[in-house]
C-alpha cells in the first residue's frame, strides 16, 4: 500500500513539474543594429535566463546560461524532437530538463551537442564583456515555434 501511495505521489509531482508553463521571459533584450547585446555579467548567477523575440506572429523563445565551466551558452527553448509540445526546458542545478520527455542535458554540453532532444544551439559570442546574438541567428529558430506547422 505504501509503495502505491509513493508511486502516485511521484507521478503527480512529475506531472506538475513537466506540465507547467515555461517561465516568463526576462526583461526584454532589445536588438540594435541587428544584434541583441547584454552584459555578460548578467549571467554570472549560473541560472538560465529566458528571452523572447517576436517576428511575424511567431514568438521565438531562447535561453542563456553560464555553465559551470564558465562558458556563456545560448539555445532555443526547444529541440528537434519535442518542439511540437511547446514546453521547452526547465533548469535543475547544472542540468536543463526537457519539460516534455524529461531527458536531462548538462549545461556544459549546450552549443556542443546538436540534434535529437538536446536544446537547439543558438549562435552567440562574447566581446568586450558583452554577450552578442545576431537577430538573424535568432530567426533561424523560427521553425521550432511556428506551431501552425504541427501535425
- pLDDT value at position 80? 92
Q: What is the dihedral of CA 41, 107, 13, 2, to 10 degrees?
A: -130
pLDDT digits (tens, 9 = 90+) for 18-61: 444 555 555 556 678 899 999 999 999 999 999 999 988 999 99
- CATH label, 2-149, candidates 3.30.1330, 1.10.3470, 2.102.10, 1.10.10: 2.102.10
What is this structure's pTM?
A: 0.81
CA distance 128 to 2: 58
Q: What is the per-residue pLDDT for 148?
A: 81
Low-confidence spans in the chain with pLDDT less than 50 = 4-7, 9-13, 15-20
Place of cell 555553465: 67
Q: Tell me, what's the pLDDT at 58?
A: 93
Where are the chain's structural domains? Answer: 2-149
Quick one: pLDDT at residue 117?
A: 87
Amino acid at each position: 500500500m505504501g509503495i502505491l501511495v509513493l508511486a502516485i505521489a511521484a507521478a503527480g509531482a512529475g506531472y506538475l513539474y513537466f506540465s507547467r508553463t515555461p517561465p516568463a521571459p526576462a526583461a526584454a533584450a532589445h536588438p540594435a543594429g541587428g544584434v541583441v547585446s547584454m552584459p555578460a555579467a548578467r549571467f554570472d548567477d549560473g541560472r538560465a535566463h529566458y528571452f523572447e523575440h517576436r517576428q511575424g506572429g511567431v514568438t521565438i523563445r531562447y535561453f542563456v546560461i553560464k555553465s559551470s565551466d564558465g562558458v556563456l551558452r545560448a539555445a532555443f527553448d526547444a529541440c528537434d524532437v519535442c518542439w511540437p509540445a511547446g514546453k521547452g526546458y526547465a533548469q535543475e542545478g547544472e542540468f536543463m530538463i526537457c519539460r516534455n520527455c524529461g531527458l536531462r542535458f548538462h549545461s556544459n554540453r549546450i552549443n556542443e551537442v546538436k540534434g535529437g532532444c538536446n536544446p537547439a544551439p543558438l549562435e552567440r559570442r562574447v566581446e568586450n564583456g558583452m554577450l552578442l546574438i545576431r537577430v538573424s541567428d535568432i530567426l533561424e529558430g523560427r521553425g521550432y515555434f511556428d506551431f501552425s506547422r504541427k501535425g
